[in-house]
Amino acid sequence: MTNTIILIIGIIFFAFMTLYNLKIAIKEKKDYVPAIVGFLFTLMVVLFFFEQIFYGLMCVAIIATISTIYLLKLLWKYLKDRNKNN
């Protein structure tokens, strides 16, 4: 019972954060990556809720890959801007 409540709260939280990030991305015309990652987190928790552990772990691997690529992109942009100023 407790696990079910925790998973439902996780689904609601990640779904809310996905919608919020999507709203910000549309309004400010920014990257959709945070909304996509939020959707994948929501999907992961839903899969765990329905006891599809393998597919949930695949979502974790996809999230890790997307997050790493996005972080490297931001780091590259920061270093490029920093070298331009010097």
Q: For 9-64, how does the pLDDT look when each residue is reduced to its tens digit (9 = 90+)?
A: 999 999 999 999 999 999 999 889 999 999 999 999 999 999 999 999 999 999 99
Domain ranges of the chain: 2-85
Distance (Å, whole) CA 16 – CA 1: 23
At 83 the pLDDT is: 87
Q: For the whole model, what pTM was predicted?
A: 0.85
Closest CA to 12 of 42, 47, 50, 57: 42
Distance (Å, whole) CA 29 – CA 50: 35
